Structure 1
Amino acid sequence: MTTVEHRRAPNGFNLVPPPGWDVIPLHTGTQEAMDRIVRKAVRQLPVGFPKDDIPKARLKLTQEMKKVVRRASAKGGMTLYLPTERLHGVALPVSIVASEPVEIPRVRPNSGPEAVLAALASETLGAEMRELDDTAALRSERDVPADAAQGVDVAHRQVEYFVPIPDSTPDQYLAFSFSALIAPGSDPAFYDTLVELFDAVMCTFRWSYS
């Protein structure tokens, strides 16, 4: 008798952010995470920072945090990763958003996720195939110019990974989006380094079955 192995889809994933980053869940526990990050930022204010200005700094940090969270949630985000400690004295203008699973119709009957990724690659600028935890994935990279009409306030470098969830029925996909704000006149090599950091983070990606 032949035994048929029934495989099950993962029920989550693990991603290891760099040191000095924090994770904000966008479904539950969001406010608690934001409060924790703001408290940490206030503790990191420079020595000699005027005590009378601390409430104003706390309010500004809270407002900025809420703006970032709203944007991530509006894009279907389920988890937000942010650097909350300075790197060599520099505050990194970057974020990573893991989005809700989405369903995409198959390219043709009986075609698998690989066919969907190939179709997307053919029409996505800067796309290339990668592999994450033994799963084929699509990576794309582009510079997005500032365009107020499109709701883009600041130019940014954007890198996205699109990953099919193995053995999901129907086929579902996760998206991981990295964004780095581009300051006018800045060195492009700096943003190349930030992109390398994101790619290194994505190398830590693992499916979870617990």
Structure 2
Amino acid sequence: MDRTDKSVADRDEGVAVGYTLVLPPNWSRIPLRDGTDEAIMRIVDEAVADLPDDMPRDQIPQVRLELVRRLRKAAADARKSGGLDLYLPVQQMHGVTVAASFVVSEITLATGAEPSLILARLLADAEKSQPTAVDGSVGYRNERVARGSGDEGGEYASRRVDYVLAVPEDDTRWVTVGFSTLADGDPKGQFADVLVELFDALMTTFRWTRSSR
């Protein structure tokens, strides 16, 4: 499995400055602050190299351009919501193309507040939320089905899971990890359940990294 590490923000010594997590096979990270295009081109190169040998060579440039377009759009959308990193599967899993991704984002509050009070408010506002703890941080996990229009070019129904975590020793920052999947078209189906279980298992590997004192 791949291991990835991304800085949340540069802060004083002894506080959380980033995180690590263990990715499932065939998943990759696209950083959203620096090196975005380089990561996208690397993913596209690997995907093109795995295309079937019998694909007509004159179709490869179009496939490449479409992959670049989709990844750049996904990165731009994730960046708009304060995303730090976008993660997505870059190869088929057991012969199946997986329509799923998750984004790690940072929320900075204007003033400090007690994490337990913020958590209580989040739990009150979010449907089907439950408190959780990840690497010692208080937070909550929310799971839902987001309805889409289904129109051409519009968003289809998706299964979503969000973790919201207080950054240790800093009551002005929270980190969100938001997962979304179309699964096989049925966001309440068995395949969607499997993908949610995979994401929850991934979140058990989430660890904060701290600056040395």
Shorter-chain TM-score: which interval?
A: 0.7 to 0.9
Task: Choose which of 38, 43, 52 in structure 2 pairs with 1:37.
Answer: 43
Task: Choose which of 113, 138, 143 in structure 2 pairs with 1:141.
Answer: 143
2:117 is aligned to 115
Structure 2: how far apart are the matches of 1:196 and 1:102?
A: 29
Structure 2: how far apart are the matches of 1:43 and 1:146?
A: 34
2:90 is aligned to 84
Q: What is the total number of aligned residue pairs between the two structures?
A: 198
RMSD: 2.1
Task: From the superposition, tell whether residues 114 and 190 of structure 1 become closer, same or farther in structure 2 (CA, over 3 Å).
Answer: same
Q: Which amino acid aligns with 1:188?
A: G
1:67-117 per-position Cα deviation (integer Å, ceiling 9, x unaligned): 1111111111110111101101111100010012322766xxxx6212211
Task: From the superposition, tell whether residues 187 and 99 of structure 1 become closer, same or farther in structure 2 (CA, over 3 Å).
Answer: closer
Q: Which amino acid aligns with 2:108?
A: V
Please state if 1:28 is matched with 2:34: yes
TM-score, normalized by length of structure 2? 0.86
Please state if 1:203 is matched with 2:211: no
Say which one has the larger Rg. 1
Task: Choose which of 35, 50, 58 in structure 2 pairs with 1:52.
Answer: 58
Structure 2: how far apart are the matches of 1:179 and 1:206?
A: 21
2:177 is aligned to 176
Please state if 1:11 is matched with 2:17: yes
Task: From the superposition, tell whether residues 11 and 59 of structure 1 become closer, same or farther in structure 2 (CA, over 3 Å).
Answer: same
- For structure 2, the 5+ residue unaligned runs are 1-12
The structure where strand makes up a greater share of residues is 2
1:4 is aligned to none
CA contact (8 A) 1:145 1:152 kept: no
1:184-208 per-position Cα deviation (integer Å, ceiling 9, x unaligned): 4577111011001110111100010
Q: How does 1:64-75 map to 2 (within 5 A)?
A: 64-75=70-81
2:130 is aligned to 128
1:190 is aligned to 191
TM-score, normalized by length of structure 1? 0.87
Task: From the superposition, tell whether residues 77 and 172 of structure 1 become closer, same or farther in structure 2 (CA, over 3 Å).
Answer: same
1:8 shift after superposition: 3.4
Structure 1: how far apart are the matches of 2:208 and 2:154?
A: 33
